[in-house]
Amino acid sequence: MLRKKLPTWRRYLTVEPLIFFYGYGLTMSMPIFRQYVYSVISQWKGLPYEQLLLEKEGLGCQEHFAGANNTLRDLENEVQSLATKIDTGNIVFWAIPSLIVAPFWGPWTDKSRRRKPALLAPVIGAFLAITVWLMVMYFEWPLYVTFIGSALAGFSGHLTTISLAVMAYIADTTEKNEIAFRLAIMQTLFFMGGVVSQLTSGFWIHRFGFIIPTWIILGCYLISGLWVIFLVPESHEKATHEKHNFFDIKSLNVLVNVFRKEREVGRKSLLLLVVVSAIIYLTILGLEGVTSLFVMRSPLCFRPKLVGYFLAYGMFLSGVGGAVGVKLLGKFFSELNACDISIVSQIGEMVLLAFATRTWLVFVAPILGFFNSSVGPIIRSILSRIVGNDEQGSLFCAIGIISSLCQFLGATLFYSVYERTLHLTFGGFVFLLCAAIKLIPFCILRCVQVPPTDERRETGEEMTLKDDEENGNKQDEKLLEENGKVKDSEHENENDTSAEADVFDPDKIELAKPIED
């Protein structure tokens, strides 16, 4: 295996820095751009958003919206509604192109045995997208121009392609029983990049505005691209350089065959786990934008610095909890029970966030969701064991496509629900809906059959061999005993025969002497 041939210090420095810097840039771009859009629309509508920002912990800007000040509340609802439409538009423009391109990346990397092109393409697309955002900020172009940048990122594959490439790379270079933990490490690095970016994003916005942080994001993507080009080795030693048609319709058949092929543990388990992953992605990725808008809305009114702190805090707990959960829960519970605990953790976080009206309640919610990201690596590890080694790229390609599709559907669903409930005093209904949907995978996992890991399989084979040896020894002992009995009986028969022979031996019989006259 390639990873074992690398020096010890390089074994954890292949795709890890790529994940960190790409995660830094991506997670920093989302809240910054959302706050930029919110700020521009607020100025356009005449909402004094910057004057209503929270200075200290407390009830936020609730006092500004109390009483008969319905005009201010109506303005805020208009700003929130338009901001959701812009954010939904950006998601549509990167999600749909990535769904078109991604199905061809996984099979192509399997056929060519090359993962690096799939790692590099999304970085280039993200670099171009950030360039468009910079032009919008410098020249004050309409916000709808940002859809062009999102489309460029989408046609490069975006997060869908880089996710499948990283997961396939890990599956190529890691032992089967270590895949879940290493995927959790990758997830943690992605979150750690997000933590650092969110801790600093609010400071950069407060100190320099939106343009300087955008340049920092551009630099992160540049570092990611250079790292892939010069410092990431191919996962397969014998990567083929033959020409393979990228847009090959057979690639779609390969993806379909991953789910149609009969498996040792049953195709049903594979399909059920994919459904579970889809619902988890829908409820987590689809709710990210709504969470940012929720904390910027009254009565919380988080300012950019506090938004950054909250997102960094949540990502830190989620990243650490994911890695710790995979190891810790795996020692005391089965894989499916560990998934159940992770889903319950997610539900607790959503319920508390729905009723949060004070800053400290918002920051307590991620504590309840400490294990919320453990379920992803565990399910992907199980799926990796179900399919064959030559199907890893296709499998993770399918998972990446499902992830993007669910993020698109989730954002559309939750943004729509959030927008339609803006007139309600209780603004956390969307989080309760999300918590209710999470009960579906909790029930589905009851019907899943999990394949054994390599360690358990080897242990089972050793136990079988030991049992066979013991049974063989017992059988040999029985045969020896039976042979001994046969020999003893034969020996006794021989003795009896020899005794009879002695009685009738003619040589030992004395002839009768003749009678003398």
Are 302 and 201 within 8 A, CB to CB? no
For the whole model, what pTM was predicted?
A: 0.70
Nearest by Cα to 280 from 344, 356, 210, 206: 344
CA distance 67 to 75: 15
Query: In the predicted model, is pLDDT for residue 456 greater than 50?
Result: no
DSSP state of 110: H
The most confident of the ranges 53-67, 113-127, 448-462 is 113-127
**pLDDT, tens digit (0-9, with 9 covering 90-100), for 135-148:** 999 999 999 999 99
Distance CA 443, CA 38 (A): 39
Lowest model confidence (mean pLDDT) among 31-40, 65-74, 284-293: 65-74
Helix (H, G, I), strand (E, B) or coil at 370: coil
For position 454, what pLDDT does the model report? 57
The class of domain 260-462 in CATH terms is mainly alpha
Q: What's the pLDDT score for residue 504?
A: 41
The set of residues, in sequence order, having a beta carbon less than 8 Å from that of 327 and lying 6+ positions away, is 181, 184
Contact indicator for 115, 172 with CB cutoff of 8 Å: yes
Helix and strand counts by DSSP (H, E) for the chain: 20, 0
pLDDT at 485 over 60: no
452 — pLDDT class (breaks 50, 70, 90): confident
pLDDT of residue 67: 46
- 3-class secondary structure for 163-219? HHHHHHHHHHHCCHHHHHHHHHHHHHHHHHHHHHHHHHHHHHHHHHCCHHHHHHHHH
Q: Given pLDDT bands bounded at 50, 70 and 90, which one contains residue 239?
A: low
The position carrying tokens 């910079």 is 134
pLDDT digits (tens, 9 = 90+) for 149-168: 999 999 998 888 888 888 88
Superfamily of domain 14-59+74-235: MFS general substrate transporter like domains (1.20.1250.20)
Domains 14-59+74-235 and 260-462 share a fold: yes
| Per-domain residue ranges of the chain | 14-59+74-235, 260-462
Task: Note the pLDDT of residue 347.
Answer: 95
- Residues 324-338: tens digit of each pLDDT: 888 888 888 999 999
Arithmetic mean of pLDDT over the chain: 80
Nearest to 157 by CA among 250, 89, 224, 95: 95
pLDDT for 41-97, tens place per residue? 988 888 776 665 444 444 456 555 544 456 777 888 888 889 989 988 998 898 889
Whether residue 299 has a cis bond before it, omega within 30° of 0: yes
